[in-house]
């Protein structure tokens, strides 16, 4: 990954359909990296502190990706900021998973336009509302 200049100061946070989501600590920033094309993009900073982040990318549906940053927990869901590569902007949303916060694990994944969550009891929940800007 020598083509990516922040590789030494970054950690892989998530991956989705060939793209990697990195977080660089110095300077603090998210980056989306495509190892196949050797291209990468730095994202603008989210407005709020991020607790957990996931990458959403389906090249069969769109050439654009989204980064979902969980910024707070609600009684049955979460507050998130979503970066859309098509618009280049962050948007704020609230997700309702239908599970109490203490029943949610930190295992989340985006698939087919929905955020999926694994509950601590092994149940799965998903939020299907499109995360538009």
Confirm whether pTM is higher than 0.85. no
HSE of 97 in the Cβ direction (CA atoms, 13 Å)? 27
* pLDDT tens-place values along the chain, 133 residues long: 788 888 888 999 999 999 999 998 877 799 999 999 999 999 999 999 999 899 999 999 899 999 999 999 888 888 999 999 999 999 999 888 776 767 666 667 677 777 776 676 666 555 545 554 3
Rg (CA), the chain: 15
């Amino acid at each position: 990954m020598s083509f990516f200049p922040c590789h030494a100061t970054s950690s892989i946070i998530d991956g989705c359909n060939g793209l990697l989501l990195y977080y660089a600590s110095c300077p603090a920033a998210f980056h989306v990296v495509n190892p196949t094309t050797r291209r990468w993009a730095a994202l603008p900073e989210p407005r709020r502190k991020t607790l957990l982040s996931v990458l959403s990318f389906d090249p069969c549906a769109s050439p654009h990706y989204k980064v979902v940053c969980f910024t707070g927990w609600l009684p049955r869901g979460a507050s998130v900021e979503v970066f859309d590569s098509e618009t280049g902007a962050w948007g704020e949303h609230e997700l309702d998973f239908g599970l109490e916060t203490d029943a949610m694990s930190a295992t989340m994944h985006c698939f087919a336009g929905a955020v999926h969550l694994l509950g601590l009891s092994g149940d799965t929940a998903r939020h299907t509302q499109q995360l538009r800007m």
